């Protein structure tokens, strides 16, 4: 038996789609037309938090300077200025970060302080604009 097709298969012609017509408003109210308006979304930047070291009477000034240098990447002169502000004003801002980064910095400073036997306190506070 010969099972070969003698005729080529028919390929259906592409369907004819109606051409798009612009909507014409009927009257002053627009009639049946719909107008979409593109709105740009306004995204607020994330809330920032400042990491603050608090003064105490027991933590050595040199240790505070080292902590500021190590965890906040400040040079020795800047770290010393921040340490003096903490000593004189009772607290000093070491840096401003996003919420998660600020929480991590607080944990790192607190752990290093406890590990070295110092009661240095570190907190994060929202930055007020």
β-pair partners for 49 = 97, 126
- Residue 38 has what pLDDT? 83
Contact 53, 109 (CB under 8 A): yes
Contacts 24+ apart (CB under 8 A), 69-78: 70/112, 71/105, 71/108, 71/109, 71/112, 72/105
Tell me the CATH number of domain 61-126, given options 3.30.70.270, 3.40.50.150, 3.30.1330.10, 3.30.1390.10.
Answer: 3.30.1390.10
Q: 116 pLDDT exceeds 60?
A: yes
Please measure the distance between the N-terminal and C-terminal CA atoms of the chain and give it in whole angstroms.
89
- Residue 41 has what pLDDT? 86
**Mean pLDDT of the 24-42 span:** 71
């Amino acid at each position: 038996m010969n099972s070969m097709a003698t005729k080529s298969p028919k390929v259906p012609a592409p369907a004819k789609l109606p051409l798009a017509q612009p909507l014409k408003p009927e009257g002053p109210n627009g009639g049946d037309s719909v107008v979409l308006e593109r709105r740009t979304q306004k995204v607020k930047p994330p809330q920032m938090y400042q990491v603050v070291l608090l003064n105490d009477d027991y933590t050595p000034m040199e240790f505070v300077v080292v902590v500021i240098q190590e965890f906040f990447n400040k040079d020795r002169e800047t770290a010393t200025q921040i340490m003096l502000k903490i000593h004189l004003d009772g607290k000093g801002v070491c840096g401003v970060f996003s919420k998660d980064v600020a929480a991590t910095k607080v944990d790192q400073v607190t752990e290093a302080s406890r590990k070295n036997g110092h009661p240095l306190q570190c907190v994060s506070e929202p930055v007020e604009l």
